[in-house]
Amino acid sequence: MTATRGLEGVVATTSSVSSIIDDVLTYRGYSIDDLADFATFEEVVYLLWNEKLPNEQELAQLKKELAAASAVSDDLLNHLKSLPLKNVHPMAILRTAVSMLGMYDAEAEDMTKEGNMRKAIRLQAQMSTVVTAFARIRDGKDPVAPRTDLSFAANFLYMLTGEEPKEVAVEAFNKALVLHADHELNASTFTARVAVATLSDMYSGVTAAISALKGPLHGGANEQVMKMLSEIKEEDQVESYLQKALEQKQKIMGFGHRVYKNGDPRAKHLREMSKQLTKMTGEEKWYNMSVKLAELLGKEKGLLPNVDFYSASVYHSLDIPHDIFTPIFAVSRVSGWIAHILEQYDNNRLIRPRADYTGPAMQKYIPVTER
Ligand X SMILES: CC(=O)SCCNC(=O)CCNC(=O)[C@H](O)C(C)(C)COP(=O)(O)OP(=O)(O)OC[C@H]1O[C@@H](n2cnc3c(N)ncnc32)[C@H](O)[C@@H]1OP(=O)(O)O
Ligand Y SMILES: O=C([O-])CC(=O)C(=O)O
Candidate residues 303, 312, 314, 318; the one interacting with ligand X per rule CB under 6 A: 303
| Partner whose binding site includes residue 254, from ligand X, ligand Y, none (CB under 5 to 8 Å by kind) | ligand X
The neighbouring-strand residues paired with 21 are 24
Task: Report yes or no: 97 and 80 within 8 Å, Cβ to Cβ.
Answer: yes
Minimal CB distance to ligand X: which residue? Answer: 256
Q: Is the dihedral of CA 69, 73, 76, 78 positive or negative?
A: positive
Nearer to ligand X, 115 or 215 (CB): 215
Q: How far apart are CA 277 and CA 172, in angstroms?
A: 8
Nearer to ligand Y, 62 or 210 (CB): 210
Catalytic residue among 218, 257, 269, 340: 257
Would you give the DSSP letter of residue 216?
Answer: T
Q: Does 325 bind ligand X (CB under 6 A)?
A: no
Question: Residue 199: what residue type?
Answer: L
Q: Does 217 bind ligand X (CB under 6 A)?
A: yes
Pick out residues in 158-197 that bind ligand Y (CB under 6 A): 183, 186
Nearer to ligand Y, 258 or 268 (CB): 258
Length of the chain: 371
| Partner whose binding site includes residue 305, from ligand Y, ligand X, none (CB under 5 to 8 Å by kind) | none
Candidate residues 308, 338, 342, 343; the one interacting with ligand X per rule CB under 6 A: 308
Catalytic residue among 201, 308, 316, 340: 308
Task: Report yes or no: 137 and 80 within 8 Å, Cβ to Cβ.
Answer: yes
Q: How far apart are CA 99 and CA 205, in angstroms?
A: 10
Nearest to 264 by CA among 226, 220, 294, 241: 294
Task: Report yes or no: 93 and 83 within 8 Å, Cβ to Cβ.
Answer: yes
Nearer to ligand X, 77 or 226 (CB): 226
Q: Does 222 bind ligand Y (CB under 6 A)?
A: no
Instruction: Calculate the dihedral angle through the C-alpha atoms of 341, 325, 285, 276, rounding to the nearest 10 degrees.
Output: 60
Number of residues engaging ligand Y in binding (CB under 6 A): 6
Q: Any catalytic annotation for residue 89?
A: no
Shortest distance (Å) from residue 254 CB to ligand Y: 11
| Partner whose binding site includes residue 221, from ligand X, ligand Y, none (CB under 5 to 8 Å by kind) | ligand X
Task: Report yes or no: 22 and 156 within 8 Å, Cβ to Cβ.
Answer: no
Q: How far apart are CA 217 and CA 220, in angstroms?
A: 7
Stretch that binds ligand X, among 34-42, 133-141, 214-222, 230-238 (CB under 6 A): 214-222
Q: How far apart are CA 254 and CA 322, in angstroms?
A: 14
Pick out residues in 242-261 that bind ligand X (CB under 6 A): 251-258
* Residues in touch with ligand Y (CB under 6 A): 183, 186, 258-259, 306-307
Active site residues: 257, 308
* Residues in touch with ligand X (CB under 6 A): 6, 217-219, 221, 251-258, 303, 306-308
